[in-house]
Structure 1
Amino acid sequence: MVISIYTKYRPQKFSDLIGQEIVANTLRNTVKMGLVSHAYLFAGPRGSGKTSTARILAKAVNCENPKDGEPCNKCKFCEEIKSGKAIDIIEIDAASNRGIEEIRELKENARYAPSFLKYKVFIIDESHQLTKEAVNALLKIVEEPPSHVIFIFATTDPQKMIETIISRCQRFDFKKLSISDIVKKLEYILKNENIPYEKDALEYIAVFAQGAMRDAEVLLEQIIYSLHEGEKITKDLVLNILGGVDPLFIKELFRTIVNKKFPKAIEILNSLVTKGYSAEDIAKNLINFLRVGLMLKVDGSLSLEDIPISVTSDDIEFIKSEIKNVNLRYLYNVLDLFLEALPKIKYAPVQQLPLELAILSIFDKEGENSGKQ
């Protein structure tokens, strides 16, 4: 059986968690000091490591030989949990098991002592999707659970969680991963798999993944399956497989607009649409560049770490060089016009028309300003 990269390289210890160091260190210390809570809330965007962390915590509290709060990953309990065979670790997808009947079954299960482990751990994923009746049924047991039970609620939308559940949990907030965090993990995987790569190719995978490690690993696997023996993962290969607008074209469009070469900008825009790129994708990429340009204009010392999940290190250097002599107000106005144009693309009879009008509006405003002078 072929094991997916995401499964093969899933974190097995708190120290394996990339980009969530505060969460990892706090949980490790609570296990080490024997201060494990009866209920946790893991909140954060998809692919940020919530379920993986829940499984690591389940191992750590049940491990026969924990070391400094970390599971040993060698004892029979760790092995059972790692293989997914431990019947005392119950994972529930609240998106499809959200009703009161399922929760009643959970409560009944929770009353009984673990069959094999020290703790019975209930991991409830997408817990914000539980019905109000199901949550009310859960309240009592979450407030006063049996000593052998730990609840871990994972959610991408904590605002939809009922306050009475949140108040009974220790809350940990997971963040989107930075490009450098994702690249670090992808490099580790490729080195282990002996696959050659270009680092900027991995940065583009990270940009496509939008801060989700799981998505990045799935994309990387898709690219690996496309390789010929000995072939290197390059930026061009990534763009060809994953789609999206070639950054070189976006850079050229960005350059013409910040340098106020409006006829050329319209020419490039129409050329991209002719090549088969959607106006919406072009607009989103250009808006992203303009946003970064605005941020760099305010603070030129910003680095890849400070500008999350949007551009590569090469993109930052390019944008810095292009905006040196550009007015901050001009960048602001251009960004504002393209943001207004973006939702109009869907309903336009010619998909690039709202973007053309945005460029012409910039041209018109610049003409007015020069006329006043």
Structure 2
Amino acid sequence: MEHFIVSARKYRPQNFEDVVGQQAITNTLENAIKNNHLAQALLFTGPRGVGKTSCARILAKKINQQDTEYSEDEDFAFNIFELDAASNNSVDDIRNLTDQVRIPPQTGKYKVYIIDEVHMLSQAAFNAFLKTLEEPPAHAIFILATTEKHKIIPTILSRCQIFDFKRIGVLDAKNYLKVICEKEKITAEDDALHIIAQKADGAMRDALSIFDRVVSFSGNNLTREAVTENLNVLDYDTYFNMTDLLLENKIPEVLNAFNTILGKGFEGHHFINGLASHFRDILVAKDKSTIDLLEVGDNAKKKYLTQATKASIPFLMQAINKANDCDLNYRASKNQRLLVELTLMQIASITFDGEKKKSANYIIPATFFQALSPAAKEIKKPTQPKVTISEPEKVAEPKPKLVKPVLKTAQRRGSSLSLKSIHQKKEVKKTDIEENFDNHPKDSFTEEQLQKLWKEYANVLQKKGQRSMASIVATDIPKLEGKFKILFTVPNKLMKDQFHKGRPKLLQFLREKLNNYGIDVMINLNETVEKKFAYTPQEKFNKLKEKNPLLEKLRQTFELDL
């Protein structure tokens, strides 16, 4: 069996021309070498798999090739030293490196030290490295590489020339994969390579790893279907079909299609994110000046242009907003599938003109779809004779007695503006707070944890600008009564009423943080506490004077005003 070399190693760039998607940086480094304008300390930073270490090795080789006769095979390996800071991050490792720096190179002009994952160095190692980095010998050049620049201390950053590597674009990655397919004699559909490039998320190394995996799965013929099956991603056709159903207001078919997607093992969050991106791409395809923003294959681009003629801009804007709201609320939702289904039903109802819409979250009623079926029409026929009422002359004397109960029930319906209806609404609001949490978790907690979260909630209210509620929450320290009951004391009735209004949000905060949905807050009124608070300067001074009577003499001596 022949030894297999992964594409990420086999096609690793050997010169600056082979580096994908970093043309600005490679041109800068080449010009710096030609003009002898290269700094002695360089920092390469950026996401994983974008060519930082490859550029460092190419640069290390190029530096010594300048003004020197060299052969094709000469790589000046004796002049290049690589240190993996992830495993060599101690002070002793850096001291060994600084001792080696003093020795000049035997061949070539420079010794190049590549320190990969430099952010893994300890604080002491960074400090030991500072002096050498600031004043290195003339023959030494340091190239530092990292994915997390923010973890490097500022004194190191100030001594380096920083190069920020960017994520590799989808089209650049796709074009490079095409080149590899030609070299490996693999036939691949344009959409298949595009999906691989998208899945890589800007990392060329990841794109090559995915490419190897898909080739192992489907052989030398890469199709879009094979790639989507192997990578377990939702292809364009899924979103195109779903959008057609949404535009045609077919809610039952939409729900069945979503159920099929869940049956394939995809998460609702993944689907709703992809649907929002699909709406965005349709919106982009509606204008010729923005078509270039579509990072899709040629076949998919034609489908987007076709569907863009069906969908209006108001529909797309509303659909994107609803999908975005669903994305934001997905993690906090207790019934995530229902949340996505409601969002899909609302999107499917945007273009519905069957009746007057009452709200922005309008959903087509189920009776509309029942009316379309022939079985529903048969059910409606026998109900029609019951609606007809005989003329007044033919009404018998006992029939008015039957009307009276109907009138009484009509009179019992409270007006929306009556006092009774207002009290009923208040009762409904109260019942909304007291939900049934029998099946929810009820983890145990300590009084210290409770008091810490209580202070945290007061700070949250303060940041939101709800200072009145924040001051009420901070008036007393809550106490734990029994297992899950919290006792909180307020000094007056006004504060009690105000606290009662903000109690539901406080309960929700505590229940989520403590993972206990059996918590309840009991409010205790103690008007004697009110005397402890001093509001005016005179009251504050009197309070201090009780503790130290000499303050009054001090005020009179210096004729101080309050």
The bucket for the TM-score relative to the shorter chain is 0.7 to 0.9
Cα RMSD, aligned residues only: 3.0
2:397 matched residue in structure 1: none
- Cα distance change on mapping 1:357 and 1:29 into 2, 3 Å: same
Determine which of 313, 317, 335 is the counterpart of 1:326.
Answer: 313
1:89 and 1:320 map into 2 onto residues whose CA distance is: 53
1:184 matched residue in structure 2: 175
1:318 counterpart SS class: helix
- Cα distance change on mapping 1:149 and 1:330 into 2, 3 Å: same
Paired residue type of 2:27: N
Determine which of 82, 91, 103 is the counterpart of 1:112.
Answer: 103
2:10 matched residue in structure 1: 8
2:190 and 2:331 map into 1 onto residues whose CA distance is: 34
2:357 matched residue in structure 1: 370
Larger Rg belongs to: 2
Determine which of 323, 326, 334 is the counterpart of 1:338.
Answer: 326
- Cα distance change on mapping 1:270 and 1:11 into 2, 3 Å: same
2:199 counterpart SS class: helix
Contact 2:191 2:224 (8 Å CA) reproduced: yes
Q: Percent identity?
A: 36
- Cα distance change on mapping 1:302 and 1:363 into 2, 3 Å: closer
Q: Which has the higher contact order (CA 8 A, sep 6+)?
A: 1
Contact 2:247 2:351 (8 Å CA) reproduced: no
Paired residue type of 2:358: G
Paired residue type of 2:72: K
1:101 matched residue in structure 2: 92
2:229 matched residue in structure 1: 240
Gaps of 5+ in 2: 361-562
State the shift of 1:203 in Å.
0.7
2:115 matched residue in structure 1: 124
State the shift of 1:175 in Å.
1.3
1:259 and 1:103 map into 2 onto residues whose CA distance is: 67
Determine which of 258, 274, 281 is the counterpart of 1:292.
Answer: 281
1:168 matched residue in structure 2: 159
Paired residue type of 1:31: I
Matched pairs, number: 353
State the shift of 1:331 in Å.
3.7
2:275 counterpart SS class: helix
1:41 counterpart SS class: strand
Paired residue type of 1:21: Q
State the shift of 1:208 in Å.
0.9
- What TM-score do the two structures reach when normalised by structure 1? 0.83
Contact 1:40 1:151 (8 Å CA) reproduced: yes
Paired residue type of 2:142: F
Contact 1:41 1:169 (8 Å CA) reproduced: yes
1:277 matched residue in structure 2: 266
Kindly provide the CA deviation profile for residues 210-269 of structure 1, in whole angstroms up to 9, marking residues without a partner as x: 1111111111112223344xx411111111222222332133234444665444333221
Kindly provide the CA deviation profile for residues 63-120 of structure 1, in whole angstroms up to 9, marking residues without a partner as x: 26779xxxx77142x2x5xxxxx24322233333333333223222222223554322
Contact 2:56 2:143 (8 Å CA) reproduced: yes
1:150 counterpart SS class: strand
1:56 matched residue in structure 2: 58
State the shift of 1:145 in Å.
0.9
1:219 matched residue in structure 2: 210
1:294 and 1:264 map into 2 onto residues whose CA distance is: 24
Gaps of 5+ in 1: 81-85
- Cα distance change on mapping 1:333 and 1:283 into 2, 3 Å: closer
Contact 1:258 1:323 (8 Å CA) reproduced: no
Paired residue type of 1:343: R
Which range is displaced more, 138-147 or 363-372? 363-372
Kindly provide the CA deviation profile for residues 307-341 of structure 1, in whole angstroms up to 9, marking residues without a partner as x: 56xx5454454344434513154144123223214
Paired residue type of 2:313: V
- Cα distance change on mapping 1:108 and 1:185 into 2, 3 Å: same
State the shift of 1:180 in Å.
1.4
